[in-house]
Structures are given as structure tokens and as C-alpha cells.
Amino acid sequence: MKTKNLIFLFLSVFYWMNGSAQLRITEISYNPPESGNDSLEYIELYNSGAAVLNLRDYKFTKGVDLTFDEILMQPKSYLVVAVNAAAFERNFKKSAVQWTGGALNNNAEVIAIADAGGTEVIAVDYKDTPPWPGLADGTDGNGRSIELCNPDADPNDGANWKASENDLGFQINGKQVYGTPGAANSVSCGVTPDYLVEVSDGVFSPKDIVINEGESVGWNNLKGNNNINGSKNTYPNNPVSFGNGNPSTNNWSYVFTFDTPGYYEYQSDPSGQKGSVTVNKKTVIDPYPYRTMAEVKGVNADGVADSLGIRCLLKGVVHTINFRTSGLQFVIVDDQNKGFAIFNSSNNFGYTVSPGDAVDVKGKIEQFRGLSQLIVDSLKVVSTGNQLVVVKPVNVFEEADESGYIQIQNVSFKDPSEWKSGGSGFNVVMTNGTVDYNVRIVNTSDAFNAPIPSGQTFNVTGVLSQFAGSSAPFTDGYQLQPSYITDFKALSATEDVKALDNIKVSPNPVTHLVKIESAVVPRKIEIVDLSGSIVRTFLNTNSVDFNNISSGVYFIQIRIGDKIITKKIIKL
């Protein structure tokens, strides 16, 4: 009886130990490509044994919180544990057990499970740094889970984990999702060569190949007594040696990864037949490729930027002050007066914003209330003291001029009482009598605490910003942002007269379009016939159209400020 009890005890311990050892963690999605709180984190468990495994009272001791109810895992079967079972099932169309607390760290963490007796049976200390797969491999927020290359492989060796290769057919935040939750993994532990060469009776097919640095070549011996000899003893000019030793008639395979660029020769010793591998230097893909302003400023019909999410390098000259008290908010402009807003909510990267600085800015394009902004990742001052572009006079605010260096002319304050400091800034409305313009004065400008500029009419210079609604369409909310009080230039009667003295009208005689050359865009232009009747009126423009006006002699009355000049013109 005592012997039978000992045998029973031994078998119980054996089956308990065998059951504990058969549990594996084979797939982890620790940073799905979601915004805000992740709802699609999951851990895949695998029963690698030949017996049913009862998970009752098994529990996670590290990573997340969950104590299992009675769940029977069949041999060679999978079980997925997820942070949000409903979200998991909705997206992956598979069932999952929801853990009760905690979340997976996006950088590194230990996930551990203990059996019903409290003994730890599996622990995986995953990371997002080599040799573990990371962002560059498509995981860690880029859409791919990480998979163990073989259930029996060491789960704490990062080289045994690879980014999933199984496309699940849907996207999250523009990122394609890859994984195999609840199914066999899509990766393997073996090295798959990038190029294959067949070896048969000393003949290499293909004989000469061209690859890139870091790629691998595999040779498969199909027939004959062969080897691969690329040693520097045989070929002294080879950058490094490679080869698989003595010749053999076996159906052998040999793989070599070429990490050093250059030209390599090799041979099969018995036949003396030769082959070559040309290794080109790897092309480094810049994560911030240079883009012109014109390339990144496009929007659709709803005003939504078509460059959202793009990481790039923008170059330009600073044309504003820093519009933020902390962090960065300013505008750079190219030589075609195409500008872009530069923003970082808290980090100024040690840079003091100064108009005239030529800067290189790297970052990611986002949009806030219609305003396209490059969120700064790095910034470099290339030169200082550069000239600003010639300011562009405008009559209306429109998307084409967003972040451009512009000027509204012959405008006055519609309600001077709006000029009062407070908060992060204030808005005033200025008008030319026909069009109203919103002007934004921020608290980092010297205009914020200054008295309202004196004068009746002004030319106001700044950059065109936008503050539309919180969601598309972004088709309104444009406002001019001056940097300094001196950006409000009062027009005196003397300046009006000077502007009038320099006016030129051409061509004369005219058949179609007349251009008014003036330092100031006229507020009003009227075409008057010889009887004194007004034939046509134009507002805030420097050109008039004589099309469909009868031939004859006319007068053009040009109003700038409160002054009028009259020019005689002949219509052919």
C-alpha cells in the first residue's frame, strides 16, 4: 500500500510539473497603433504539451492582473488574454479573456504567470530595443505584434521574437495591423536568405549577383562535390572572408550575411568555378525627408491638410516672434512667400525665436483648428540676419495665404474699444469699409500692453493664421497675426499724397485691362465718362477691366486714403 501511494504521489507530481511546463507566452501586442488609452493590447498563451491544461487559479503575477477561472486548454491550442475583450473581438473577430487590471508598458516589462500553487511557470521580460524587434521593424505603435519564432524557443532571448508578418486586413490610425492572435505564428527562427544560389557540379546559378549591405546570400548544393571558398587567403581583395569549409557531396546549405560593402569573389575548390557578390552600400532612408512648402501646404475641399502625419524637414526664414510664452509657436517662410507654422507646446529646444533666422526644422505635420503646423522634433539655426520676403498685399483672407507674410491696407479699427489686453491675447476687427478683417494680438507681442495705435487708417502686416472650429470643415477663422506694434503703419495725409504722386496708369490707350502702379492698393477706383456718370466701380484693387465698355474717352478716379487723383484714359 505504501508503494502504491508513493507511485501515485510521483505520478501526480509528474503530471503537475508537466502541465506547468507546457504553458507558453507566444505573442504580445503591447503598443497597438491607437490614440489615447490602448484597447487592443493582448497576450497569447499556448499549450505546447500533449495533455489538457486546466488554468483554474493560475494567475498573472507581473504585467497585468488576472486570476483564471476553470479554463481547459486543449493540447496545441491557443488562448488570448486582452485588456478589452469586447474591443478585441470586434476588431479581430475572435474571442478573448479580459484581464482585470493593469496595462502593458510600451518600452519594457516582465509578464509572469504562476500556477495554482503559486509557483511561477512562465516569465517573459520583453523590450523594444535590439535584439528585440522595435519601431523600425513595424511594431511598438506601428501596427505589428511581436511573435515567438518557435513555442520551444527561449522567450527571454529577444532574437527569438519577430514582428508579425500576417496582414489582418484592416488599419488603425492609418497603420496596417499585423498579428496571429489565437493562431499559429507567422514567423520562424531560421535565417531566410535574401538571395539564393544553386550549386551543381561546380556551377553557380546565378554566377554573379548584386546585393545591398546587410543582405544575405544562401547557397544550396544540389549535385556534386562542392564548397564555397571566399577566403582572403584565396581572394586577398575581398573585404572579409566567407565560406563553408571543405568540399562535400551532401545536399548542404550555407548562408552568409554581407555587412561590409565591396566586391567579393569566391569559388568551388574542386572545380575552380568562380562566382561573385557585389555589395552596394545601404541607402539610408532619412526619417525626415526634405519637403518644400508647396509640397506640404495642400488641403482638400474641407480644408483638411493632405500632409497630416508626414514627418519631414522644412527650411525657411523666421518671419514672426514666438507667439507662445513657453514652447514654440512661430512661422517660417520661403522665398516664394509660402509659410508654415512651427509648434511645440512645451519645448523650445534652446532656441530664442528671432525674425531673419534661417532654420531647418524637423517634425511631424498636424493640424489644429484648420492651421497646419509642424510639431518640432529638432531645430537647427542655419544663419541669422536674413531679409524677410516682400510683404504681399491682400484684399481677402484665404487658404492659399495661410502662414504667408501679408498686409491689409487702408484699414481702420471698426470698434476701438476692442483693443484691450487680457488672457493670452485679444482680437480686434479692422475694416476697409467693405471687408472686415480679424487681427489677433498675442501676449508675447509688444502691442499687447501698448495703447491702440494712433491714426485713422493703417497698413497692417503679419502672418495669416487660422482658428476655425474643432472639426472639419476648416474653411473660416482666418486672422492676421502681427508681431510688433510697428506692424501697424498709420497712413498720414502726406503719405497719401506721396502715394498719389507716384501713381502710374498703363497701358493708355487700353483695350482690356489697366494696371494701377501705386505704393498703396487703392481703396476705390471709378471709371467716369465725359458726362460725369460713373460707368464702373472697383474696390481694393490695383487693376480695372475695360472689357465691354464702349470706345471713347474716360476718366479714372483713384482714391487712396481720403485723397483722390484723376487720370484721363482712352478706350480703343
Residue 324 cell numbers, joined: 507662445
pLDDT of residue 2 exceeding 60 = no
Instruction: State CA 187 to chain mean position distance.
Output: 28
The residue-averaged pLDDT of 140-158 equals: 91
93-102, 157-166, 444-453 — which is least confidently predicted? Answer: 157-166
The helix (H) or strand (E) run that includes residue 524 is: strand 524-528
The residue-averaged pLDDT of 491-507 equals: 65
3-7, 309-313, 385-389 — which is least confidently predicted? Answer: 3-7
Residue 10 cell numbers, joined: 510521483
Mean pLDDT, the chain, whole residue set: 89
The helix (H) or strand (E) run that includes residue 312 is: strand 311-318
Amino acid letter, residue 520: V
Which residues sit opposite 156 in a β-bridge?
Answer: none
Q: Are strands 78-82 and 97-98 parallel, antiparallel or unpaired?
A: parallel
pLDDT of residue 293 exceeding 90 = yes
4-18, 141-155, 288-302 — which is least confidently predicted? Answer: 4-18
**Which DSSP state fits 58?**
-
Q: What is the structure's pLDDT at 498?
A: 52
**pLDDT tens digits for 33-80?**
998 888 999 999 999 888 999 999 999 999 999 999 999 999 999 999
∠ at Cα 153 (258, 184), nearest 5°? 100
| pTM of structure | 0.48
**For residues 412 and 435, is the Cβ–Cβ distance under 8 A?**
no
pLDDT band at residue 524, thresholds of 50, 70 and 90?
confident
**For residues 144 and 68, is the Cβ–Cβ distance under 8 A?**
no
| Cα distance between residue 220 and residue 170, in whole Å | 38
Q: What is the structure's pLDDT at 538?
A: 83
**pLDDT tens digits for 194-224?**
899 999 988 999 999 999 998 999 998 999 9
| Nearest by Cα to 233 from 244, 241, 225 | 241
The residue-averaged pLDDT of 284-290 equals: 87
pLDDT of residue 6 exceeding 80 = no
| Nearest by Cα to 414 from 430, 425, 403 | 430
Greater pLDDT, 13 or 118: 118
The residue-averaged pLDDT of 240-246 equals: 91
**pLDDT tens digits for 70-109?**
999 999 999 999 999 999 999 999 999 999 999 999 989 9
Contacts of 17 (CB under 8 A, 6+ apart): none
Residue 256 cell numbers, joined: 552568409
**pLDDT tens digits for 246-277?**
898 887 878 899 999 999 999 999 999 999 99
**pLDDT tens digits for 534-552?**
888 887 888 888 888 899 9
Sign of CA dihedral 94, 99, 100, 105: negative
The residue-averaged pLDDT of 177-181 equals: 94
pLDDT band at residue 362, thresholds of 50, 70 and 90?
very high
**pLDDT tens digits for 385-435?**
999 999 999 999 999 999 999 999 999 999 999 999 888 999 999 999 999
DSSP of 287-329:
SS-B--HHHH--B-TTS-BTTTT-EEEEEEEE-S----SSSEE
The tally of CA atoms less than 13 A away on the side-chain side of residue 547 is: 4
Contacts of 137 (CB under 8 A, 6+ apart): 144, 162, 163
pLDDT of residue 495 exceeding 80 = no
pLDDT of residue 499 exceeding 70 = no
Q: What is the structure's pLDDT at 1?
A: 37
Q: Distances in Å between the alpha carbon of 289 and those of 91, 295, 313, 343?
A: 34, 12, 6, 19
Cell 495703447 -> residue: 451
The helix (H) or strand (E) run that includes residue 272 is: none
Residue 143: CB atoms within 10 Å = 25
**For residues 213 and 250, is the Cβ–Cβ distance under 8 A?**
no
Question: Domains of the chain (ranges plus CATH)?
Answer: 2-178 (2.60.40.1260), 195-280 (2.60.40.420), 285-491 (2.40.50.140), 494-571 (2.60.40.3080)
* Strand runs labelled E in 39-142: 42-47, 53-54, 59-62, 66-67, 72-73, 78-82, 97-98, 108-114, 120-127
**For residues 275 and 217, is the Cβ–Cβ distance under 8 A?**
no
Is the link from the previous residue into 193 a cis peptide, with omega within 30 of 0?
no
